[in-house]
Each structure stands twice: as structure tokens, then as C-alpha cells.
Amino acid sequence: MNKRSFFYGIGVGPGGSGLIPYAAYEALQDADIILTPKGKEANISIAKLCLKGLAIPETKFQNIIYNMDTEPDSLKAHYEAMAQNILNELNQNKIVAYLTLGDSLTYSTYSYTLQSLLKLCPDLPFKTFPGITSYSAIASSFNFPLGQGKERLLILPCPEDSLSLKADIESHDLVILMKIGYRLPMVIELLKIMNIDKHCVFASRLGLPGEFTCNDVSKIDQNEKLDYFSTMLIRKNKPDFIED
């Protein structure tokens, strides 16, 4: 591989523009190709939207379709093919950047892409830039501390059943619940039963068109269809900063 070739992984934040690190912005200036992942049914890449207002030539951007299939063999083949295409560009003396929503290595498609690339090219020259996670952005939006003193914090993809979620909440002071999707009614019902719904916060598509936020999840319409990219901050006990 040519000495100039390089691969960047860049977290662009959870939504909205201006949230990427300055060092990552400089890397984008150097890049020949900026890969912007999007789903099959999506009209645009949300990750690309997060760069709105930055002086980056449109000719650098290249959409890639990512696979939402959960079947392991299908996912493996998808990322292997994607990695090979990226490697082909790198072998042509190019600098390639890969955008990802939120943080580069927190439940991110970039992590799978990087793993597949390193299998093909163990000496791959690369650098990963961190990004602002959805839950840190939500916490800032609500001035909601993510752990104080010796509080125990759990980051969790939403379980399928309420008993598992209840056990996770009871064994931690604060739970960051991600990838909620269709399970939202189950989650809200459990929080009501546990009598903690009024000091939990929720956000969907934060910083993007269609944003929805709520600082009392008991008020959420359970029949409303909210985005898969939804996150809830759950506190087992009412913190001092919330008044009755």
C-alpha cells in the first residue's frame, strides 16, 4: 500500500451540524473520498447531514448502502465486500474517510467495517476519531448528569422483555437505553409500574428533522411511531436536581 494511503473513521455526533472534533474536520479536508453510509430505503445519509455548513467539496462524498439484516452470514458478507471496495480505493493511493453517526466505536457500523478491513490488510494505516454519543447529547440537552459520585451506569440495547430490563434497572443507578424501537410501549409501562417514569428523559432524532424530546416519559404517546434511533436515560432514584 502506498505511503499516502490512509483510512479515517469519523464520528459526526448524533445529529445536527458542528459536533465533530476539529481534528476530524481537518482529516476530512485531506480525504479524497468521504463515505456516507445510508439505509436502503433512505433518501439521504443522515451522517452527511451532520456536516452541513462545512466547506467540503460535494465531489468527495460517496454513498454506501449498509445492511440492516441481523443474519450473521449476510452481515459478514456485506462488510467483507464493503471492506474490499475501500481497500481497492486505498490501493490507488487515496485517503478514505468513513462517517458514522454518534461515536465511531459505540454501536457503530464503522467498527464492523474496520474489523473487516484489518482482516484483509493487517498493516492498514488508519485513525479513529471519537464522536459525541446520542446519550451524552441528550444528557446535555436536559442537564441530566450521567453518573455522580459512585453511581453505577449501564449502557444497554433495549431487551426484548420487561423482566430483563427491570433487573438491569434495579442493579444500576442509571441505565442508558438504546435501540428501543417498537419496544417503547413495554418500556414506558415498566417505568410506570416502577414509579420512576417522571424522572427519566427520552429523545428521538436529536438535532435532526423530526426531533422529539420529553423529560417525563409518562407523557409519551405509546402509539406514536418514533424513530429507531431513540435513546432513554433512566434513573432508578429521583436525583436531587428534579423537584416535586
Q: What is the pLDDT of residues 69-116, one digit of tens each?
A: 667 778 888 889 999 999 999 999 999 999 999 999 999 889 999 999
Which pLDDT does position 53 carry in this prediction? Answer: 83
Decide the pairing of beta strands 201-204 and 33-38: unpaired
Residue type, 18: G
Q: Which residues pair with 127 in a beta bridge?
A: 8
Laid out side by side, the sheet with 201-204 consists of 153-157, 174-178, 230-235, 201-204, 212-214
Residue pLDDT, tens place only, 60-77: 999 888 766 667 778 888
Domain residue spans of the chain: 6-129, 134-235
What pLDDT is stored for residue 166 in this prediction?
Answer: 97
Say yes or no: domain 6-129 is CATH 3.40.50.150: no
| Grid-cell match 415498566, residue found | 190
Give the 3-state secondary structure of the chain. CCCCCEEEEEECECCCCCCCCHHHHHHHHHCCEEEEEECCCCCCCHHHHCCCCCCCCHHHEEEEECCCCCCHHHHHHHHHHHHHHHHHHHCCCCEEEEEECECCCCCCHHHHHHHHHHHHCCCCCEEEECCCCHHHHHHHHHCCCCCCCCCCEEEEECCCCHHHHHHHHHCCCEEEEECCHHHHHHHHHHHHHCCCHHHCEEEECCCCCCCEEECCHHHCCCCCCCCCCEEEEEECCCCCCCCC
For residue 61, the model assigns a pLDDT of 94
Class level of CATH domain 134-235? alpha beta
Amino acid residing at 107 = Y
Give the pLDDT confidence score for residue 74 in this predicted structure. Answer: 80
With a cut of 50, list the residues of the chain below it in pLDDT. Answer: 244
